[in-house]
Structure 1
Amino acid sequence: MQKIEQNNTSGRTYGGESAAERLSRQRQTFMDAGLELFGTVGYRATTVRTLCKQAGLTDRYFYKTFSDTEDLLAAVYTESLDQIQAEVVAAINTAANQQLTAGQIDAGLEAFFSAFENSRMARVCWLEVLGVSPRIDA
Structure 2
Amino acid sequence: MDTPGGKYGGETAAQRKAQRRGRLISAALDIVADGGAGRLTVRGVCGTARLNDRYFYENFSDCDQLLLEALEQEMAQGVEHLLGAVGAAPAEIRAKVRAAVEAAFDFVVADERRGKLLIAAQTSEALRPRRDELIRSLAQIMSIQSMELLDSRHLSESDAELAGLSLVSGGLEVATMWLRGELSASKKHLVNFIVALILTTAEMSTALERELTD
User: Fold-level match, TM-score > 0.5?
Assistant: yes
1:88, distance to aligned residue in structure 2 (A): 0.8
What is the 5 A alignment of 1:12-51? 12-51=6-45
1:14, distance to aligned residue in structure 2 (A): 2.1
Which of 91, 95, 99 pairs up with 2:85? 91
Question: Which ranges of structure 2 fall in alignment gaps of 5 or more residues?
Answer: 130-214
| Local SS of the residue matching 1:116 | helix
Question: Percent of counterpart pairs with the same letter?
Answer: 29
Larger Rg: 2
Which of 118, 127, 134 pairs up with 1:136? 127
Q: Which residue of structure 2 lines up, in the alignment, with residue 113 of structure 1?
A: 105
Question: Which ranges of structure 1 fall in alignment gaps of 5 or more residues?
Answer: 1-10
Higher RCO (CA 8 Å, separation ≥ 6 residues): 1
Task: Judge conservation of contact 1:48–1:59 (CA < 8 Å) in 2.
Answer: yes
TM-score by length of 2: 0.54
Whose helix proportion is higher, 1 or 2? Answer: 2
Range moving further from structure 2, 101-110 or 33-42: 33-42
Task: Judge conservation of contact 1:73–1:129 (CA < 8 Å) in 2.
Answer: no
1:123, distance to aligned residue in structure 2 (A): 1.2
Distance (whole Å) between structure 1 residues aligned to residue 63 and residue 122 of structure 2? 15
Letter in 2 for 1:12: G
Letter in 2 for 1:77: L
Count of residue correspondences: 124
Range moving further from structure 2, 13-22 or 68-77: 13-22
Distance (whole Å) between structure 1 residues aligned to residue 31 and residue 99 of structure 2? 30
Letter in 2 for 1:132: S
Range moving further from structure 2, 86-95 or 110-119: 110-119
1:82, distance to aligned residue in structure 2 (A): 1.1
TM-score by length of 1: 0.81
Pairwise CA RMSD: 1.6
1:119, distance to aligned residue in structure 2 (A): 2.2
